[in-house]
């Protein structure tokens, strides 16, 4: 599948330290086949969540042959935003 990442999210990821970027991109590359990716949870009909190294959370959707990454944030922010602590 094609992986589509919002340019704003790419800027955030590319501003991270090199080692962290490498880890994030390794996880995101798994989404080329989102049904076999690790640390993924279906949270609604077309909304999925992936945890990255207990540090970041990625929200994405799947449409036709593409995976659309819509949000990328630290896991603590994701828990606060979605009422989980």
Query: What tens digit of pLDDT does each residue of 25-56 get?
Result: 999 999 999 888 988 999 888 899 999 999 99
Average predicted confidence (pLDDT) for the chain:
91
- β-pair partners for 64: none
Q: How far, in Å, CA of 34 to CA of 57, rounded?
A: 15
> 49 lies in which domain range?
2-75
Q: Would you say residue 23 has pLDDT above 90?
A: yes
DSSP state letters, 7-65: HHHHHHHHTS-HHHHHHHHHHHHGGGSTTT-SSEEEEETTEEEEEETTTEEEEEEEETT
The number of domains in the chain is 1
Tell me if 46 is assigned to some domain. Answer: yes
Tell me if 82 is assigned to some domain. Answer: no
Tell me if 52 is assigned to some domain. Answer: yes
Q: Model's pTM, two decimal places?
A: 0.87
CATH number, position 32: 3.30.2310.20
Q: Would you say residue 84 has pLDDT above 70?
A: no
Tell me if 84 is assigned to some domain. Answer: no
- β-pair partners for 61: 68
* pLDDT at residue 18 in the model: 97
């Amino acid at each position: 599948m094609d992986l589509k990442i919002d340019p704003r999210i790419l800027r955030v990821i590319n501003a991270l330290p090199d080692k962290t970027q490498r880890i994030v991109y390794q996880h995101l590359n798994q989404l080329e086949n989102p049904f076999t990716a690790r640390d993924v949870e279906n949270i609604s009909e077309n909304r999925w969540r992936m945890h990255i190294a207990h540090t970041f959370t990625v929200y994405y959707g799947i449409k036709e042959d593409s995976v659309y990454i819509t949000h990328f944030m630290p896991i603590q922010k994701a828990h606060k935003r979605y009422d989980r602590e």
